[in-house]
């Protein structure tokens, strides 16, 4: 099938039919910010960081779910888009601690980088942040809910990448958290778990403590004990 021709930020470009806008942009050297999009895994459209302005569309659209189309005219960087990204970051920081200097991920954090890029350094929220204590899922895995931006990368890597399904989403709205699922009961009984052969066999949650899952966390909110508070 012939490539489709579209416009991105005033440039006329081509991409294979069906290519997602975010990928078509990347193929042409234009980076569209993203937290939840991860090539090869199911699409979530959860974080809203990849919003782009498409001519004649009634509202901004997520570049991670919309494929290029013939004649499409797209802006990935205009005033409207920058304002939307800044607002998205403001929301993501609603309950997020602002302690980058002492955070394990500080200096190599995707969220921190985006805030620097889009200038979301102020907040209109005056309410007290909703603090949830860090959860110790096992001797090696810690989960820090207020820092988690619910990008669901960990769930997808564990489920689609490793076929384990030990992580899921619990609670609703601003109380949502990543939680170990009932699958860990099965895993606990299972003699073989390809993902965690290097880790202790004592507790089921240790079985999800693989570099494969932990390494995909954009915020380092699923943290291995050996890195916690000593990595920096």
Q: Is 61 in the site for ligand FES (CB under 6 A)?
A: no
The residue among 143, 136, 137, 96 whose CA lies nearest residue 115 is 96
Residue number, 195 or 218, with CB nearest to ligand FES: 218
Dig out the tokens for 163 from the structure.
């076929």
Q: Residue 119 and residue 90: Cα distance in Å, rounded? A: 10
**Complex with ligand FES: residue 41 or 106, whichever CB lies closer:** 41
- Which of residues 20, 50, 66, 109 is near ligand FES by CB under 6 A? 50
| Total residues interacting with ligand FES, rule: CB under 6 A | 12
Among 30, 52, 64, 145, binds ligand FES (CB under 6 A): 64
Q: Does 148 bind ligand FES (CB under 6 A)?
A: no
Instruction: Report which of 198, 190, 192 is spatially closest to residue 214, judged by C-alpha positions.
Output: 198
Note whether 178 and 159 are within 8 A (CB).
no
**Rounded to whole angstroms, how far apart are CA atoms 27 and 12?**
13
Binding mask 133-172 for ligand SF4 (x = CB under 6 A): ---------------xxxxxxx------------------
Binding site residues, ligand SF4, CB under 6 A? 148-154, 178, 216-219, 221-222
């Amino acid at each position: 099938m012939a490539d489709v021709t579209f416009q991105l930020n005033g440039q006329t470009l081509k991409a294979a039919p069906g290519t997602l806008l975010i990928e078509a942009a990347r193929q042409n050297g234009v980076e569209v910010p993203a937290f939840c999009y991860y090539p090869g895994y199911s699409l979530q459209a959860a974080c809203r960081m990849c919003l782009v302005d498409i001519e004649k569309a009634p509202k901004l659209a997520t570049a991670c779910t919309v494929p290029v189309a013939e004649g499409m005219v797209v802006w990935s960087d205009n005033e409207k888009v920058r304002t939307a990204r800044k607002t998205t970051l403001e929301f993501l920081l609603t309950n997020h601690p602002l302690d980058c200097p002492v955070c394990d991920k500080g200096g190599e954090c995707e969220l921190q980088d985006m805030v620097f890029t889009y200038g979301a350094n102020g907040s209109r929220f005056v309410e007290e942040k909703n603090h949830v204590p860090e959860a110790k899922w096992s001797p090696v895995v810690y989960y820090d809910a207020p820092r988690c931006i619910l990008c669901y990368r960990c769930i997808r890597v564990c489920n689609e990448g490793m076929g384990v399904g030990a992580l899921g989403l619990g609670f609703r709205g601003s109380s949502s958290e990543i939680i170990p699922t009932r699958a860990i009961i099965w895993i606990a009984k299972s003699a073989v778990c390809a993902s965690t052969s290097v880790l202790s066999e004592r507790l089921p949650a240790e079985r999800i403590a693989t570099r494969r899952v932990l390494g995909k966390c954009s915020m380092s909110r699923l943290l291995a004990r050996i890195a916690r508070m000593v990595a920096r």
